[in-house]
C-alpha cells in the first residue's frame, strides 16, 4: 500500500464531464493533485452545509423577545 493512500477510501461520483475538466484545470492551477483538490472541495462543501444547518437551527430556536412590539399609529 502506498503511504499517501493509507486511511483513505475511493469516492466515486458521476459528474458532468465539463465540471470534471474544470476541476482538473483548477487543481493544476492551484498546484494540487486532482485527488487533493477534490478532497478539499468536498471538505469545504460539508463544512458549509454543516454551518448553514447550524445557523438555521439556531435562528429557529432563538427565544422571542419579551419587549413589546412597536405600536402602529392610526391615520
- pLDDT at res. 19: 96
**Residue 43 predicted with pLDDT over 80:** yes
For 52-75, how does the pLDDT look when each residue is reduced to its tens digit (9 = 90+)? 999 999 998 876 666 566 666 665
User: Degrees (nearest 5) of the Cα angle 30, 31, 37?
Assistant: 70
Q: Which three cell numbers stand for residue 25?
A: 484545470
- pLDDT at res. 72: 67
The structure's pTM equals 0.66
- pLDDT at res. 1: 47
Q: Are 33 and 27 in contact (CB under 8 A)?
A: yes
For 10-42, how does the pLDDT look when each residue is reduced to its tens digit (9 = 90+)? 889 999 999 999 999 999 999 999 999 999 999
Amino acid at each position: 500500500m502506498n503511504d499517501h493512500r493509507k486511511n483513505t477510501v475511493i469516492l466515486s461520483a458521476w459528474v458532468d464531464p465539463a465540471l470534471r475538466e474544470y476541476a482538473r484545470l483548477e487543481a493544476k492551477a492551484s498546484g494540487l493533485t486532482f485527488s487533493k483538490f477534490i478532497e478539499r472541495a468536498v471538505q469545504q462543501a460539508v463544512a458549509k452545509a454543516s454551518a448553514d444547518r447550524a445557523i438555521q437551527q439556531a435562528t429557529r430556536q432563538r427565544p422571542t423577545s419579551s419587549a413589546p412590539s412597536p405600536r402602529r399609529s392610526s391615520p
